[in-house]
């Protein structure tokens, strides 16, 4: 018989020993205009990831202008006072690099991955579009058509995406997380030059930005370059405090049934309002992270055992939680029913499995195995400079600190079975949930 504890001990011994306690080599400082700078040294390859994160995402948009943060992300690739439209990306490509940008609820980020000796050039161009964007009515018209087509392609033509929007809207009655990042179609169609410039003028400012540089760099040289290119940009004196409307106490279970003839595979989705990782207080988020792995982290998870193998009610089950969020996030469950199993039967089986888990509690060997897996993932993730830069940028833009990022692995390892059961009782409340069915249309006579 295989001794699982002995196997896990052997795996632990084979992992890089210094890496268990080590962390990234990080230097932080702040420019006089308020711009935060994070430098992560990794001298194994002569390349660098250069990122600018703005602490402004779709949840910071004015009501009635949903989608403007993502719209502006597109517009930042247009002309500036010193660059032609598309020149930044063309320059990056000509120098053997790659670049892109992305928008989320809590931030908008722009990045380049390029040879380390081109870092100054990247800062020069990125700083230029932070301050000198030059938009025209023609830019607005053409790029608005682009984002509308993007919504058509990614959302309107995808019943799962439409279902997800309805789930979020039902979960968040008062918070802007209930509005899709790309925006509602009817509001996207009205976005104009003033919408874009107003958002740009306020939020695209050094005191609302985080510069993350990861790779083959020297912190002193990064500081010199950052002061030269970013440090000369004036701070925005009217930057508003980052205050958002919050959710009232959720006291009633909510339901969504979304039917669409394009649905190939119906499924049940349950979301619960859940706490995020907070600066200096990540214990509950760590317990929820491990709870998601226990319940639905693969074929050895609790839901897989109960629903896929014991009863064969489902062909797939999963649990998902991401705590990097400025405000309350969600803990999600998905169950895909097997052949001839109704959505109601799948939901009932899911509820029975959750009830059983609350009685059974946490299996000690499974908890130990998950902790080992998480530790290994975190160690090997340090080999991905892009991933490292993203991890620090997303965390800081969501209200966390460098210390929180570096403490996170140890916070996860300190989670106990009692911590997990306590947070499960607090979060897995039907009154704080939305249960959704993605289904095919009901046929006549049913």
Question: Is the per-residue pLDDT at 6 higher than 90?
Answer: no
Helix axes of 364-381 and 4-14: crossing angle, nearest 10 degrees: 10
Are 258 and 224 in a shared domain?
Answer: no
Q: Among residues 194, 229, 264, which one ends one of the domains?
A: 229
Distance between CA 181 and CA 307 in Å, rounded? 33
CB neighbour burial string for 81-98, b if at least 16 within 10 angstroms, e if fewer? eebeeebbbebbeeeebe
Residue ending a domain, among 179, 212, 229, is 229
Residue located via tokens 């230029």: 128
pLDDT surpassing 50 at residue 18? no
Q: At what angle do helices 137-151 and 68-75 cross, to 10 degrees?
A: 120
Residue 73 has pLDDT above 80, yes or no: yes
Query: Distances from the Cα of 441 to the Cαs of 156, 204, 261, in angstroms?
Result: 17, 45, 6
12 found inside a domain: no
DSSP state at residue 104 = -
The pairing of beta strand 108-115 with beta strand 98-103? antiparallel
Answer whether residue 19 shows pLDDT above 50.
no
- Mean of pLDDT values over 177-198: 98
**Residue 99: its pLDDT value, please?**
98
Is 34 a domain residue?
Answer: yes
As a whole number, the mean pLDDT across the chain is: 94
Q: Is the pLDDT of residue 8 over 80?
A: no
Asked whether residue 1 is domain-assigned, the answer is no
| Residue pair 301/315 in contact by the 8 Å Cβ criterion | no
pLDDT value at residue 385: 87
Indicate if 195 and 313 belong to the same structural domain: no
Residues 223 and 276 in one domain: no
Same domain? For 280 and 215 the reply is no
| Count of residues making up the chain | 446
Of 158, 133, 147, 146, the closest CA to residue 58 belongs to: 147
Mean pLDDT over 427-433 rounds to: 97
* Interatomic CA distance for residues 361 and 359, integer angstroms: 6
Based on the domain organization, do 221 and 286 belong to the same domain?
A: no
Would you state the pLDDT for residue 197? 97
Task: Say yes or no: 207 and 260 in one domain.
Answer: no
Q: Give the residue numbers marked as catalytic.
A: 73
Two tokens at 385?
Answer: 């400079």
- Flag whether pLDDT at 45 surpasses 50: yes
pLDDT digit string (tens) for 346-357? Answer: 999 999 999 999
- Residues 51, 173, single domain; the answer is yes
74-93 average pLDDT score: 97
Based on the fold, state whether residues 172 and 262 are members of the same structural domain.
no
Tens of pLDDT along 367-393?
999 999 999 999 998 888 899 999 999
Q: What percent of the chain has pLDDT over 70?
A: 94
- Its domain, for residue 124, covers 24-229
Please report whether residue 244 resides in a domain: no
DSSP class of 297: S
Instruction: Tell whether 293 and 365 lie within a shared domain.
Output: yes
Would you say residue 248 lies in a domain? Answer: no
Lowest mean pLDDT among 1-10, 131-140, 167-176, 188-197: 1-10
Q: State whether 225 and 259 are in the same domain.
A: no
In this predicted model, what pLDDT tens digit does every residue of 245-304 receive, in sequence order? Answer: 999 999 999 999 999 999 999 999 999 999 999 999 999 999 999 999 999 999 999 999
Q: Is residue 15 part of a domain?
A: no
Answer whether 216's CB lies under 8 Å from 42's CB. yes
Q: What is the pLDDT of residue 23?
A: 77
pLDDT band, very low/low/confident/very high, at 22 (cuts 50, 70, 90): low
- Among the three residues 170, 196, 229, which one is the final residue of a domain in this structure? 229
Q: Average pLDDT in the 132-157 region?
A: 97
pLDDT of res. 15:
52
Q: Which pLDDT band, with edges at 50, 70 and 90, does 199 fall under?
A: very high
- Strands ordered across the beta sheet of 108-115: 25-30, 36-41, 209-215, 47-54, 108-115, 98-103
Query: How many angstroms separate the CA atoms of 80 and 132, rounded?
Result: 5
Name the domain count of the chain.
2
At 13 the pLDDT is 47
| pLDDT at 154 > cutoff 90 | yes
Domain assignment present for residue 31? The answer is yes
Looking at the fold, whether 298 and 202 belong to one and the same domain comes out as no
In a domain, 303, yes or no: yes
CATH number of the CATH domain containing 89 = 3.30.830.10
347 and 408 both lie in a single domain: yes
pLDDT digits (tens, 9 = 90+) for 304-335: 999 999 999 999 999 999 999 999 999 999 99
Average pLDDT for 25-46: 97
Tell me, what's the pLDDT at 443? 63
In the DSSP assignment, the letter for residue 99 is E
């Amino acid at each position: 018989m295989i001794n699982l504890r002995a196997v896990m001990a052997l795996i632990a011994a084979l992992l890089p020993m210094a890496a268990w306690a080590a962390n990234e080599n990080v230097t932080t400082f702040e420019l006089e205009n308020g711009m935060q700078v994070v430098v992560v040294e990794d001298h194994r390859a002569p390349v660098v990831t250069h990122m600018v994160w703005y602490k402004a995402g779709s949840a910071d948009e004015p009501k009635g202008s949903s989608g403007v943060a993502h719209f502006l992300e597109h517009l930042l690739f247009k002309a500036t006072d010193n660059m032609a439209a598309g020149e930044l990306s063309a320059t990056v490509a000509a120098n053997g690099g790659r670049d892109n940008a992305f928008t989320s609820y809590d931030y908008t980020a722009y990045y380049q991955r390029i040879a380390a000796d081109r870092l100054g050039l990247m800062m020069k161009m990125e700083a230029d579009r932070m301050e000198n964007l030059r938009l025209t009515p023609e830019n607005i018209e053409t790029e608005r058509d682009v984002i509308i087509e993007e919504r058509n392609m990614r959302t309107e033509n995808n019943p799962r995406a439409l279902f997800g929007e309805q789930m979020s809207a039902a979960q968040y009655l008062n918070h802007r997380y209930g509005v899709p990042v790309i925006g509602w179609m009817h509001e996207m169609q009205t976005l104009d030059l003033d919408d874009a410039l107003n958002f740009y003028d306020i939020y695209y400012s050094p005191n609302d930005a985080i510069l993350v540089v990861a790779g083959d760099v020297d912190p002193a040289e990064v500081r010199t370059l950052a002061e030269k290119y970013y440090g000369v940009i004036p701070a925005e004196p009217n930057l508003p405090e980052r205050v958002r409307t919050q959710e009232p106490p959720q006291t009633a279970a909510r339901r969504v049934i979304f039917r669409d003839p394009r649905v190939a595979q119906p499924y049940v989705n349950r979301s619960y309002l859940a706490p995020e990782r907070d600066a200096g207080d990540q214990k509950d988020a760590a317990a929820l992270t491990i709870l998601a792995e226990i319940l639905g982290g693969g074929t050895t998870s609790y839901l897989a055992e109960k629903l896929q193998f014991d009863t064969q009610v489902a062909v797939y089950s999963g649990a998902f939680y991401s705590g990097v969020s400025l405000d309350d996030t969600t803990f999600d469950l998905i169950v895909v029913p097997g052949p001839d199993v109704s959505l109601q039967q799948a939901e009932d089986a899911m509820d029975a499995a959750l009830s059983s888990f609350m009685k059974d509690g946490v299996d000690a060997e499974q908890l130990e195995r998950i902790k080992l897996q998480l530790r290994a993932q975190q160690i090997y993730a340090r080999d991905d400079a892009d991933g490292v830069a993203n991890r620090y940028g997303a965390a800081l833009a969501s209200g966390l600190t460098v210390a929180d990022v570096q403490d996170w692995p140890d916070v996860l390892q300190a989670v106990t079975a009692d911590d997990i059961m306590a947070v499960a009782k607090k979060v897995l409340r039907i009154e704080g949930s939305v249960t959704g069915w993605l289904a095919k249309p009901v046929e006549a006579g049913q």
